[in-house]
Amino acid sequence: MGQVSLSGALQGGPAGAAESSFPAASLLIPLKLSADPKGFQQASGVLTRVLTDANVFVELGPVGRDVPRANLLYIKASGNYRLRLTFDNGMGGDVVVTSDQTGFYLAEYPATLFVKKVEVAAAATIEYFASGNTT
């Protein structure tokens, strides 16, 4: 059994003192997983793939093979990409969701509605990590 943790914050505000207005608008949102640290029984390790065709979906193993019930997914890409996720619908069937993404993607999913397959279409370098439990 392993664990993963997230620390950091989403910060925003005026670009510089000369551009700010009074009162200065700012935000500071702490980033944390729903359970931090989050335990897992299976994990992919941090993997990298170089993809060359934005029109062809490529499966990002080991999700579906070594991590068949992923409930945490991290992706970072050097450019735009199409993300296609196949979820278990809680009754053994599939729910497929496709979305356009850019840059950073991090999501947690309920243990009963886990990710079974991750596919990406891109002309970009993709870094990814997935973890989950066996049941």
Helix (H, G, I), strand (E, B) or coil at 37: coil
Give bridge partners of residue 6 from the DSSP assignment: none
What pLDDT, on a 0 to 100 scale, did the predictor assign at position 83? 98
Contact 74, 129 (CB under 8 A): yes
Residues in Cβ contact with 41 at an 8 Å cutoff, skipping those fewer than 6 apart:
1, 2, 132, 133, 134
Q: pTM above 0.95?
A: no
Query: For the residues 73-78, what does the mean pLDDT come to?
Result: 98
Q: Are 14 and 47 in contact (CB under 8 A)?
A: no
Predicted confidence (pLDDT) at residue 44 exceeds the cutoff of 70 = yes
Per-residue pLDDT tens over the stretch 88-115? 998 989 999 999 999 999 999 998 899 9
Q: First-to-last CA distance in the chain?
A: 13
Does pLDDT of 62 surpass 80? yes
Domains of the chain plus CATH, in order, are 34-132 (2.60.120)
Alpha helices in the chain (DSSP H): none
Per-residue confidence (pLDDT) for residue 109, from 0 to 100: 94
72 pLDDT tier (thresholds 50, 70, 90): very high
Q: How confident is the model at residue 70 (pLDDT cuts 50, 70, 90)?
A: very high
| Eight-class DSSP state of 69 | T
